[in-house]
Amino acid sequence: MSTLFMSSKGGNCTTVTATAFALIAAQRGQHTVLIDLCGDIPSVVGMTEPASPGVNDWLAESSTADAQALVTSGTPFAEGLVVVHRGARFVDGEPRWDKFVEAISSLPMNIVIDAGIGHVPDALRHAVDAVTMVVKPCYLSLRRAARLPHPTNVFVIDEPGRALTVKDVGHVIGSPVAATIPYDPAIGRAVDAGLLPSRVTTLFGPYFSLPAE
């Protein structure tokens, strides 16, 4: 299973949601690789920032690394979970998206990709099993989201006090709402304290539908 998380606008909790999804998948017995295309996952999980090459180095035009090298470039973080960090800030040359697609399609494990608001090439969008858009019921977010290709499903961060509803989000984006996650300051506090991994089941577990292996 491969899931790509993305959003139409910053500030929609995409990285935290993708990370929580990967952590819970690993806890439920799915050997999971979490690939960080944005660069914030080490901070979100309270992990020392790796100095080794990462996914951007793997994607470099001159690279010859294969699918196994993508996994081994990652850092085992929790039982059943490997985090492949961003590495270089930018990809050198033309990114090897075709090889990346081949790699994630061939790996015999659960793949979770945090793309944030970055560019998602069509080849990658079509290769993953699900494109999940994370969004708040925010007019600016939905205005931008309506111009993007339809995701497979939507995870809504249900922030109180908004004029728009979860139903409005699904209607505007035109994709089913697969999860509604209440906006909870405890999530921010857990991230700030580096405690998201130990609290993820309590904070996110009730909202993710994931089969155990």
What pLDDT was estimated at residue 11? 86
Which residue in 163, 161, 181, 153 sits closest to 6, CA to CA? 153
Which residue in 59, 44, 133, 142 sits closest to 93, CA to CA? 59
Provide the 10 A C-beta neighbour count for residue 16. Answer: 25
Note the Cα 62 to chain centre separation in Å: 26
- DSSP state string for 97-117: HHHHHHHHHH-SSEEEEEEET
Beta bridge partners of 158: 182
Q: What is the mean pLDDT of each run of 10 residues along the chain (213 residues)?
A: 93 94 94 95 89 94 95 91 94 96 94 93 94 93 90 93 90 93 93 92 87 52
For the chain, give every domain's residue range.
2-207
What pLDDT was estimated at residue 78? 86
What pLDDT was estimated at residue 211? 54
Cβ distance 141 to 9 under 8 Å? yes
Indicate yes or no: pTM above 0.85: yes
Give CA–CA dist 88/68, Å, rounded.
19
Region for 80 from its dihedrals, namely left if φ exceeds 0, alpha if ψ lies in -120 to 50, beta otherwise = left
Give CA–CA dist 101/123, Å, rounded.
7
Which residue, chain included where needed, has tokens 């990462």? 54
Give CA–CA dist 48/51, Å, rounded.
9
What pLDDT was estimated at residue 213? 52
- Among 1.10.357.10, 3.20.20.140, 3.40.50.2300, 3.40.50.300, what is the CATH number of 2-207? 3.40.50.300
